[in-house]
Structure 1
């Protein structure tokens, strides 16, 4: 497997125009001649946004991108569920590894943000969330929220320096969270994970993370409220956010990948968890 090139490509600044896919490939911006995602189980380095899927949403600095697979090549309509494989799993891997993704827009996309003809390189984005939903054609699709890196500075490296040592600095906007709700949830559980019961203690005091059950921001629009939060250790926060575990209607935690019950979710009387948020997580995030 050829090593992927993440980040900016020398000689191709943001805004560069290309006549076709062949020019994109030769420039090193996007490898596939047809596929919208350049990626595999090792990660995804670029995507093309060109109106290929009706569920795509382009908001400029935020893109809700539909994964690949399940389409009839002759009609372009979805005829099967998408699976978390190939480019789809690549985008998940880039989210987990926090690797930048090059975004190329084609003339077939939203006219507000797309070039009039050909393709245009529109800079680096990061994958901040992924989930599944029923698409407009009635089949399961995987969706990815990408946000633009507002400022990217790539250090110039000599050819002898391995690619994996390249550093990318960026500044991006984030949703301002309600710290009082976050702190209250952690204190209610004495910084103890609701899944495994682990309580981490550092020199600066105990540490835990407040995980939103229904994610904040578009398109989930989950509230920043303690009824939408769990107190988790870092490991189970990552597993929960990425659908590897979920909570069923009876309050039991399940492993999505093996289909096995793990443990009852630890709760306290003072913390009301809205079951509708847990249902939303099962239906849109859990990899069942």
Structure 2
């Protein structure tokens, strides 16, 4: 079987809704360059595509939003998880898509009366990832995938565009606009303003107050809002962080112990008497974001 080029993003001539009879046709078109594995990834670069085929009991498919289960630890006989997954291999590459913004091609296996087939359903972004016990008990890595508005014009591959830069000589005009509907959790900005005021815009990790014409800080939710985490938008679930530590906290690069000692970083969280943080939310972050990454990195 000839080796195909590894491409991120849309493929020329392949639009959402395109159907393929089997995995070999997917492979031949370059849509998914694995004939068996559900994740097609390249080490150190990211994942290009996934196939949803009903193989993992913890997958949740809501159409425009998918909670996708990572690879590993599954029994071939029962399709149940029998061992913990780790944030390594193709799971790590899916996580890389979250930090780099690379789009992911999603293919669904469709069961019809005439038989099964595979359908390309467009580009998704990896909006977040975490670990938690699956339905069978062992810990699984889960990835929240969100449908992007469209594939863009044929051949507009971000990876290729990064390596070759060319510009046609043409008159400049306004950028094209497309109408789209976005469903998102509406956050109470009063909570953000409150936590920033209580700490005078100083980061609770490093103590730095970023300043331009005005001071700047960010409100970071400890247990994330929205499905599937359903954290509350309350002061007890929010930290005041600088932009750097907000990103690191969301990515699980550090955690916070019950006594507010920092895990993965030196020091202790800076606290304020009027800002009471619920230990339950810190424990949730340690269990779903910080601890699994620490353990995976030690393997």
The alpha carbon displacement at 1:80 in A equals: 1.6
TM-score under structure 1 length normalisation: 0.87
TM-score under structure 2 length normalisation: 0.84
Pick one of 63, 87, 92 that aligns with 1:89: 92
- In structure 2, what is the equivalent of residue 43 of structure 1? 46
Asked which structure has the greater RCO (Cα within 8 Å, sep 6+), the reply is: 2
Deviations 1:233-253 (A, max 9, x none): 122111111111000111111
- In structure 2, what is the equivalent of residue 119 of structure 1? 118
Structure 1 residues 164 and 187, CA, compared in 2 at 3 Å: closer, same or farther? farther
- In structure 1, what is the equivalent of residue 193 of structure 2? 183
Q: Does 1:251 align with 2:254?
A: no
- Pairwise CA RMSD of aligned residues? 2.5
The alpha carbon displacement at 1:66 in A equals: 0.3
* Structure 2 CA distance for aligned equivalents of residues 35 and 3 of structure 1: 17
The alpha carbon displacement at 1:85 in A equals: 0.9
Q: SS in structure 2 opposite 1:281?
A: helix
- In structure 1, what is the equivalent of residue 280 of structure 2? 276
Correspondence list, 1:1-288, <5 A:
4-39=6-41, 40-107=43-110, 117-154=116-153, 162-164=161-163, 172-203=182-213, 205-255=214-264, 262-286=266-290, 287-288=293-294
Contact 1:134 1:141 in 2 (8 A): yes
Deviations 1:108-149 (A, max 9, x none): 6xx9xxx96210000111111111011122211000111111
- Unmatched 5+ stretches in structure 1: 256-260
Structure 1 residues 141 and 269, CA, compared in 2 at 3 Å: closer, same or farther? same
Contact 2:123 2:150 in 1 (8 A): no
Alignment: residue pair count: 273
Structure 1 residues 162 and 60, CA, compared in 2 at 3 Å: closer, same or farther? closer
Deviations 1:139-175 (A, max 9, x none): 11000111111344348569xx744568xx9964432
- Pair member with larger Rg: 2
